[in-house]
Amino acid sequence: MTTTSTALRALLTTETSSALPRVSTAQLLSAPENADLQAIWTVPPADPAVFAGKRIAVFATDGVEEIELTTVLHYFKVRGAMVDLIAPRKPSFPAFIGLQIPDVRETHILTIHYIETAGWIAFDKTADSAKAEDYDAFIVPGGAWNPDALRSDRQIRAMLQQGVEAGKVVAAICHGPWVLSDAGLLKGRKATAWWSTQPDLEGAGATFVDAPVVVDGTVVTSRAPHDLAPFVQAIGKLLNV
């Protein structure tokens, strides 16, 4: 069994029957309209070293959309890039708020299928231990809860700002562009995102474009899980410029 098919099997094992609204990975990958996305998971790359020497930071926390996170990680890892999944440290809250965070959050973040919880995935570094200068690209996947938490993280916003200032690739998909807008990175740029966030992006000074992927300089944005193939391909193209 190839590494690609092993990764796909691992992804599909997180999907069980559910009465909750969710994104079905199996349905998404089997839809004819998503053949390019299916190929990312089923066809070995023509050049498994195309991104050798490139270092990519993926920022995510609890509530990240699983297929968006795993596709980004898989696409670049099987093509030779060194990829770090970077998350904020486990948060703590006063008792009166009532929020309880399990101990596993010290080393893992919780993924979702839209509303349904999916599973825990280990991260490589905490945001306070990562340095922007160590990376060639920065990627923010979506899932509404995930970017809503990341947009208030000062350290992650700062690394994204440093990335843009250094001319590095900065990318976000679905609700992920929320984080870019709150970091002040979309003002005067064309961008796209999950459709309901259009007023937020426009309020941050962006020109919203309803397209699968929008590239403005070194900033890449996309709308939704079914746009993952053009999203990662656009990032890859900029990495090899």
Residue type, 101: I
Token pair belonging to 88: 């904020």
CA 131 to chain CA centroid, nearest Å: 18
Question: What separation in angstroms does the CA of 167 have from each of 31, 50, 162?
Answer: 36, 20, 9
The reply to whether 74 belongs to the active site is no
For residue 106, report the phi and psi dihedrals to the nearest 5 degrees. Answer: -65, -30
What DSSP character marks residue 203? H
The residue from 108, 113, 175, 226 that is catalytic is 175
What dihedral do alpha carbons 228, 81, 184, 209 form, nearest 10°? -30
Catalytic residue among 74, 113, 174, 226: 174
Look-up of token digits 């596709």:
71
Does residue 108 have an active-site annotation?
no
Query: In 3-state terms, what secondary structure has residue 234?
Result: helix
Helix (H) or strand (E) holding 24: none
Catalytic sites, residue numbers: 174-175
